[in-house]
Structure 1
Amino acid sequence: MTLDKVVGSAAEAVADIPSGATLAVGGFGLCGIPMVLIDALLQTGVDGLQVVSNNCGVDDWGLGVLLAAGRIAKMTSSYVGENKEFARQYLSGELELELTPQGTLAEKLRAGGSGIAAFFTQTGVGTQVAEGGLPQRYAADGSVAKASAAKPVQVFDVDGERREFVLEEAIAADFSLVHAKRADRFGNLVFDKSARNFSPLAAMAGRVCVAQVEEIVEAGELDPDAVHLPGVYVDRIVVVGPDVEKRIERRTISVDEAASRPMPEGA
């Protein structure tokens, strides 16, 4: 493997992702999503993808474009709102869903990237997360075609109390796709504020990690203390520039700001 991990285009970076691959994708809502890589993957025509990500974008942006094209077979997510097509496909039986608590999803990705097979957590104890029965796929008639299985529960002594914990298995994906603010040619990544979100964890979980970055610098130019993800986890870098399109999922303004704005013509 060359130390210089920069590739010439997004198309080249995702060219070997096959149909049926498992993908871990960074982002939270539309914040920090690797949209250029998602678009490039859409153009390849691959389908049957099993995607692990906090959510599935919106109807016309983010992972939502793959979903709308019928390329995603299964989502493992913690939030499934903001996307009408997601709801339609899930309720009609076209899409499988493994709904996972958000903190548990983050830890499953981190564990997968750290070589940890499974871990115990209190999150989900006493619910269908642990006991099973969550609908993962519906039949065309609305009945549940596939439900989640029960997970092992074990009691541990914590702070002098006997508490139940559920066993959660780690997630390791074939590929991971992330967006970063800055990288050096060795693949060390720096994320921008809240755009970091799930991205380092998703990157760790992928056997092959592809990162789109706004800026590339030479080796040695990044302050080691500023690196959020070491280059050992990153295999390919695509430079997309600082003007890459970023969308706001839901824009909220103050009452004062709204009052100060002129009314649109014809309103």
Structure 2
Amino acid sequence: MNGNNETLNSNAYQARMNVAREQFARREDVQQLFNSPLDPELLNLFMIHWCAMSAALTTPIPEYLATAGVRCEALGLTDLAEFFKEHTEEEDGHHEWAAADTHKLVKLWNEQQPALQLDAEELLFTNMTASVRNYHQLHRDVVSGDAPWAELAIDVEIELITTQYGPPLLKACASALCEESRKSISFLAEHVNFDFGHTDTNFRVVAELIEAKPEFTAHLVSIGERALDTYGDFLGEALHLAKKSYGVLERNRTAVGA
């Protein structure tokens, strides 16, 4: 199986997922985050909530990938099993990384915003939100179901979101956040840099899989669509929580006449 550049980007999976990716881009929350300027304080709050929720989001991912690898090995999908094994190692410890950024961002926020003091530990304690639980459930459904190989679609789509939407978010942060805060979003920044290198590999693995198993295509697309919907909800919930915090900030300022 040798996927060339054309088959990497124009196979049946890519053609059908491009439609879903366009729908993702049209989501109201995605439009608000990436296509309209956010108030700097609101963007700062979004990054705090996103990091705190990301700590919960990423905690069990190595376990899901490892399970997918074991089950794919049992199904004779040895190349895909190796892919999941390598990816398992890459994802290890990401929850600690996101938590560390949360602490840094909250510390800086509290130094600059006396009208709204945040508690990093509380944010991390309450970070198992509805969208995080739904994202975990999607992984569990896949790796424990009849098609553990469909975990590949989740990997492909989530990492593609990072490469497409991460750079404009970093650019917005560069304008809105102070220098120390910009240094404290390393979880996002390093993922953007790292996942760019994954795109061609991910697309190649998909192309090779559906070349060998074209009957897998429809289910891969179905899971890829669910992944986009679920992660879109995650972004939307982080934005919603940021807006709630922003509202408290404004009310507190009004109360003290600031």
TM-score category of the 2 structures, normalised to the smaller one? under 0.3
Q: Which of the pair has more CA radius of gyration? A: 1
Higher share in strand: 1
TM-score by length of 2: 0.25
Bigger helix fraction: 2
Higher relative contact order (CA 8 A, sep 6+): 2
TM-score by length of structure 1 reads 0.24
